[in-house]
Amino acid sequence: MEFVFGALSVIAIAGAVGVITLKQPVHSGVSFIATVVALAGLFALLSATFLFMVQIILYAGAVITLILFVIMVLNVQASHLPDEKGQGKALVLGAVCLAPLVALGMRGFNTLGSEKLVVLGEGFGGIHGLGMALFKDWVLPFELISLLLLAALVGAVVLLKKERV
Amino acid sequence: MMSVQGVALVALVLFCIGFLGVVSRKNIFVVYLSIELMLNGVNLLLVGLSRYHEGSDGQVIALLIIAIAAAEAAVFLALIVTLVKHRRTLNIDRFNTLRPKGTR
């Protein structure tokens, strides 16, 4: 269990580093797949079985496919790629901005318990418990999300509509 | 260390990598993927805390975040296609239509 957790974490972080360091957008997309699949495995280890399935089907299946499809449709040439020379300064500046967040995270980190987590078996994180919680306590956010998805659908159609001159 | 602390550490590292990607890259696709990385880091933290407290609320929030990320993917990719059609580049510094004249 420990070994699986460590391996999945390393894969997820390595994929994330690949996303922000590789030059070609297609390579970034492929490393993002590694991160998403490793995170799905971590969800399974944390006994969130339904979210594991959603992550595989929705992220690895739909969102990543859409991203790679768009990258390939746009037919990115080497001449389209921006010149990214001055990354060092931006990285240092970003690290300075992140320092307070990391300090806060470390303070919260020490309040968490360090006992080992084992995989729960009695239906925790399955579709039944999640559905009960979603439709009892979270029904308003759920409805608002449906509105948001409708707005996103309309927005995507409007953006990609051919302009009639 | 398969504890909630280990999970929180991985989630924080993922979030920080995503943030650094947003501020340091100029390729609009990589910026979008970095935003997704930040969302995924937060999702991992929520699922870990949900397992730690043995309640379902964290997982429900993570599910809502995944739905929002899917909506964001649709709009963001449509926006990228439109911008690239008009500007013929992926460089985010070139997408400056809303910037007032004479700045930078």
- Give tens-digit pLDDT for A44-71: 999 999 999 999 999 989 999 999 999 8
Q: Are the Cβ atoms of A46 and B79 closer than 8 angstroms?
A: no
Work out whether the CA dihedral A9, A11, A14, A18 comes out positive or negative: negative
Q: Are the Cβ atoms of B50 and A153 closer than 8 angstroms?
A: no
Q: Which residue has the higher pLDDT, A47 or A85?
A: A47
B30 min Cα distance to partner chain A (Å): 6
Residues of A in contact with B33 (CB under 8 A): 19, 28-29, 32, 67
Range 34-73 of B in CB contact (< 8 A) with A? 34, 36-37, 40, 43-44, 47-48, 50-52, 54, 56-57, 59-60, 62-64, 66-73
**Residue A21 confidence (pLDDT):** 92
Confidence of residue A164 (pLDDT cuts 50, 70, 90): low
CA atoms within 13 A on the CB side of A61: 9
Query: What's the whole-number mean pLDDT along residues B68-97?
Result: 88
- The CA R_g of chain B, rounded to the nearest whole Å, is 17
Query: Worst-scoring range by mean pLDDT, A17-26, A29-38, B81-90?
Result: B81-90
Query: What's the whole-number mean pLDDT along residues B16-28?
Result: 93
CA B73 – CA B63 distance, rounded (Å): 15
| β-strand partners of B27 | B91
Query: What's the whole-number mean pLDDT along residues A59-85?
Result: 84
| β-strand partners of B91 | B27
Query: What's the whole-number mean pLDDT along residues B13-31?
Result: 94
**Residue B95 confidence (pLDDT):** 84
Residues of B in contact with A59 (CB under 8 A): 66, 69
Q: Are the Cβ atoms of B3 and A124 closer than 8 angstroms?
A: no
**Residue A142 confidence (pLDDT):** 95
* pTM score: 0.93
Chain-centroid distance, C-alpha B9: 18
pLDDT of A121 higher than 80:
no
Which conformational region is residue A75 in: left (phi greater than 0), alpha (psi within -120 to 50 degrees), or beta? left
CA A137 – CA A57 distance, rounded (Å): 25
Residues of A in contact with B42 (CB under 8 A): none
Give the tens place of pLDDT for each residue, B27-81. 999 999 999 999 999 999 999 999 999 889 999 999 999 999 999 999 999 999 8
Query: What's the whole-number mean pLDDT along residues A132-155?
Result: 94
Check: CB of residue B34 under 8 Å from CB of residue B76. Answer: no
Confidence of residue A165 (pLDDT cuts 50, 70, 90): very low
Task: Nearest chain A residue to B54 by CA: give it.
Answer: A124
CA A25 – CA A84 distance, rounded (Å): 13
* Encoded amino acid at B54, one letter: E
pLDDT of A163 higher than 70:
no
